[in-house]
Chains A and B, each alone.
Chain A
Amino acid sequence: AQSVSQHNHHVILSEAASLELGCNYSYGGTVNLFWYVQYPGQHLQLLLKYFSGDPLVKGIKGFEAEFIKSKFSFNLRKPSVQWSDTAEYFCAVIFNNAGNMLTFGGGTRLMVKP
């Protein structure tokens, strides 16, 4: 069955450190890829998405993600994190045999120490 995996459940970084959160999916067909963020007490917000074209996608707040099809990965990166990036990050995938249903990874809780 198709699935989405986020291997880092908790990440703690100091401000200005670089961030990379892993996301892998299991499916050989076409996918649409998303990263969502949930700040404490707030609703899920879209950070960035990939549908086609350039596999390096830039999103809001300095985040970017790279789709590597051969690795079934869509890792999220930010060169220099801020305390305000403390949040939970969810990778999500639409598999092309699943209508418009988003399948989410388990999430990664990021804490940035000031």
Chain B
Amino acid sequence: GAGVSQSPSNKVTEKGKDVELRCDPISGHTALYWYRQRLGQGLEFLIYFQGNSAPDKSGLPSDRFSAERTGESVSTLTIQRTQQEDSAVYLCASSLFTGWDYGYTFGSGTRLTVV
């Protein structure tokens, strides 16, 4: 597609439930990034993929968070046993390569609310 697509756009879940957030990057973009934006705060890096591998998982806040990417396209971010502090907007971005001079294109995000 023309842009980065994320689904769902909004998700309300009960504390303790698992959620899956999906990102469809721009076709042909080999690099994919997940960020989190908590209310009133800046963007926090979570994880990035180069192709299907994730060289840097340093930003994942706990072992309840995991992500995968298949076929150098769709990525899924899974949060298990959600907690209220997981409430945030989860943003996905993709870029052509992981070189510095390739710009990111961001999706519109998934707003996750844990009640």
Chain A interface residues (CB < 8 Å from chain B): 4, 6, 32, 36, 42-46, 49, 51, 90, 92, 94, 96, 99-107
Extra 7 A-B pairs, beta carbons < 8 Å, given A6-B42, A94-B100: A43-B106, A43-B107, A45-B106, A90-B42, A100-B102, A101-B45, A102-B104
Bound: A36/B37 CA distance, A: 14
Residue among A32, A96, A99 making CB contact with B98, cutoff 8 Å? A99
B71 at the interface (CB under 8 A from A): no
11 contacts between A and B (CB under 8 A): A44-B93, A45-B106, A46-B104, A51-B100, A100-B48, A101-B45, A101-B48, A102-B35, A104-B35, A104-B44, A106-B41
Bound: A43/B35 CA distance, A: 13
0/1 string, B19-33, CB within 8 A of A gives 1: 000000000000101
On chain B, which size bracket covers the interface? 20 to 34
Task: Decide: A99 and B56 in contact? CB cutoff 8 A.
Answer: yes
Task: Decide: A99 and B55 in contact? CB cutoff 8 A.
Answer: yes
Contacts of B107 in A (CB 8 A): 43
Which residue on chain A has the smallest CB distance to residue B3?
A: A43
Task: Decide: A42 and B108 in contact? CB cutoff 8 A.
Answer: yes
Bound: A99/B4 CA distance, A: 21
Answer whether A105 and B55 are a contact pair too, CB < 8 Å, given A32-B101, A43-B108, A51-B101. no
